[in-house]
């Protein structure tokens, strides 16, 4: 009898301890709810340029608001994007979070009210009057801003190693080139025994490359349709099995057959492709406007220039993306401090820091001329030529379509699939996205 009672008491105690442990595992949020924002401000952002920039903004913020302590966590981009929706809507949500309008769950978040509206911040920071209307629209839902656009990107361009180009006897390439000029560069590089192009074939850079070629294959109407056709209720049916997308994929195959891509491209991550270029293992590198900031961060010593991808028809343009920014989750604990911080981040002072610190580009057009002084040389050159080159919005379809394009690139260059098969898979993914209820 005594033994049984002891055993039952033991079981009850174990259960109680287990329950306590499980309840205790739930995260405790940071931050305060005081009227002036006093307390802790919890920020989550991605590693790299954004983290550096926000650290710089944090320094001046904490000086201005000594009653607010900033705590910042950085997460690698791929991991952050994968967990953002669940993280930002949980009880442990940060007060400020890195956000992309194209990340999984982004649309659901702003449509369901999981993000705080920040119209007041757009007004107080002067952002409404300083960015293009397209950028403001991208960050609005039903007339209200759900976040702040923090930087502008263009993607991708081709960075080239000047030393290797000289070794191959290639003169300074034009920024906008034809297919024939491109083919001539490739031939000379291969004759000199130099690997031509380094690109992250197993990463999102592959999708960027295809989108760059895709843009050059479209008419203005086709491209305008492509910008919306993978989204539900857009009224435009996707057409990727034929036409410009198929032409772009056929060009990828031709380039592969011509030996444009470095050995093992299909398995390269973006980081490996960067390292290959920095180590002069390839003469060219496909990356976006953040490329020079990455190279500077890695203390790369090569001398490099840039140009746009070639085009058979109309010259290539700079493709601008304004889909990166920051938001305040509705479950943030210190919204007062968060809005103060965002106003500084989006204001002139914070935006001048983005150029100076991280090499990213501000979307504001009212910064002082000196604001660009700290930009990498290559970025300054592109900025100076922006209006001459022309700009278009970057093609940002549903993530399902981006994945189909990325894996399709690898399938073409390894010979696993034909361009038509990949085009059909992209069409299938586009239709799935378009028909989402």
DSSP 8-state class, residue 70: E
Using rule CB under 8 A, residue 274 touches other proteins: no
Using rule CB under 8 A, residue 101 touches other proteins: no
Q: Six-digit token pair at 326? A: 């920051």
Q: Which one of 173-181, 233-241, 331-339, 409-417 is the stretch in contact with other proteins (CB under 8 A)?
A: 409-417
Using rule CB under 8 A, residue 416 touches other proteins: yes
**Per-residue x/- track, 183-222, other proteins (CB under 8 A):** ------------------xx--------------------
Other beta carbons within 10 Å of 142: 8
Distance CA 355, CA 278 (A): 22
* Residues with Cβ within 8 Å of residue 130, at least 6 apart in sequence: 363, 364, 365, 366
Distance CA 359, CA 150 (A): 13
Handedness of CA 83, 84, 88, 92 (dihedral sign): positive
Using rule CB under 8 A, residue 76 touches other proteins: no
Q: Which one of 53-61, 241-249, 341-349, 392-400 is the stretch in contact with other proteins (CB under 8 A)?
A: 392-400
- Say how many residues touch other proteins, by CB under 8 A: 54
Distance CA 84, CA 68 (A): 25
Residue among 433, 425, 434 at smallest CA distance from 406: 425
Using rule CB under 8 A, residue 250 touches other proteins: no
Distance CA 102, CA 117 (A): 18
Q: Which one of 159-167, 178-186, 257-265, 328-336 is the stretch in contact with other proteins (CB under 8 A)?
A: 257-265
CB of 334 to other proteins, least distance (A): 22
Q: Which is nearer to other proteins, 59 or 436 (CB)?
A: 436
CB of 262 to other proteins, least distance (A): 8
Q: Which is nearer to other proteins, 55 or 77 (CB)?
A: 77
Residue given tokens 């920014």 in the structure block: 325
Pairing of strands 304-307, 144-145: unpaired
Q: Which one of 35-43, 154-162, 314-322, 400-408 is the stretch in contact with other proteins (CB under 8 A)?
A: 400-408
Using rule CB under 8 A, residue 8 touches other proteins: yes
Distance CA 367, CA 374 (A): 13
Residue among 290, 321, 320 at smallest CA distance from 306: 290
Among 124, 349, 400, 418, the residue binding other proteins under the rule CB under 8 A is 400
Using rule CB under 8 A, residue 436 touches other proteins: yes
Distance CA 274, CA 49 (A): 15
Among 215, 334, 393, 399, the residue binding other proteins under the rule CB under 8 A is 399
Among 112, 191, 234, 298, the residue binding other proteins under the rule CB under 8 A is 112
CB of 2 to other proteins, least distance (A): 12
Q: Which one of 50-58, 142-150, 309-317, 405-413 is the stretch in contact with other proteins (CB under 8 A)?
A: 405-413
Using rule CB under 8 A, residue 114 touches other proteins: yes
Alpha-carbon distance values, 85 to 81, 226, 333, 343, 344 (Å): 8, 26, 17, 24, 25
């Amino acid at each position: 009898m005594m033994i049984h009672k002891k055993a039952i008491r033991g079981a009850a105690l174990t259960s109680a301890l287990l329950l306590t442990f499980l309840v205790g595992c739930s995260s405790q949020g940071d931050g305060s709810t005081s009227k002036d924002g006093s307390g802790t401000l919890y920020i989550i952002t991605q590693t790299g340029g954004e983290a550096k920039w926000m650290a710089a903004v944090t320094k001046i913020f904490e000086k201005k608001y000594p009653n607010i302590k900033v705590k910042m966590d950085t997460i690698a981009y791929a991991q952050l994007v994968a967990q953002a929706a669940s993280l930002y809507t949980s009880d442990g949500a940060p007060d400020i979070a890195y956000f992309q309008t194209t990340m999984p769950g982004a649309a659901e978040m702003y449509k369901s009210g999981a993000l705080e509206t920040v119209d007041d911040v757009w007004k107080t920071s002067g952002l409404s009057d300083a960015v293009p209307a397209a950028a403001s629209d991208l960050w609005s839902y039903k007339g209200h801003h759900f976040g702040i656009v923090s930087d502008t990107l263009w993607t991708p361009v081709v960075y080239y190693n000047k030393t290797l180009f000289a070794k191959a006897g290639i003169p300074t390439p034009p920024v906008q080139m034809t297919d024939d000029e491109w083919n001539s560069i490739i031939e000379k590089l291969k004759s000199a025994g130099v690997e031509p192009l380094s690109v992250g074939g197993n990463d999102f850079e592959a999708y960027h490359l295809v989108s760059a070629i895709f843009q050059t294959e479209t008419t203005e109407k086709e491209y305008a349709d492509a910008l919306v056709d993978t989204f539900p209720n857009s009224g435009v049916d996707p057409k990727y099995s034929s036409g410009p997308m198929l032409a772009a994929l056929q060009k990828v195959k031709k380039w592969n057959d011509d030996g444009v891509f470095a050995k093992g491209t299909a398995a390269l991550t973006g980081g490996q492709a960067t390292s290959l270029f920095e180590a002069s293992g390839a003469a060219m590198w496909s990356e976006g406007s953040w490329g020079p900031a990455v190279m500077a961060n890695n203390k790369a010593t090569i001398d490099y220039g840039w140009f746009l991808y070639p085009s058979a028809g109309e010259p290539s343009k700079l493709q601008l993306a304004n889909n990166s920014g920051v938001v305040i989750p509705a479950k943030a604990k210190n919204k007062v401090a968060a809005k103060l911080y965002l106003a500084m981040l989006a204001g002139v002072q914070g935006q001048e820091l983005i150029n100076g610190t991280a090499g990213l580009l501000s979307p504001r057009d009212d910064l002082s001329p000196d604001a660009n002084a700290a930009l990498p040389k290559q970025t300054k050159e592109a900025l100076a030529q922006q209006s001459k080159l022309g700009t278009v919005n970057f093609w940002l379809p549903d993530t399902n379509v981006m994945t189909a394009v990325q894996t399709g690139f690898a399938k073409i260059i390894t010979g696993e699939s034909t361009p038509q098969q990949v085009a059909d898979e992209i069409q299938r993914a586009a239709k799935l996205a378009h028909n989402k209820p």
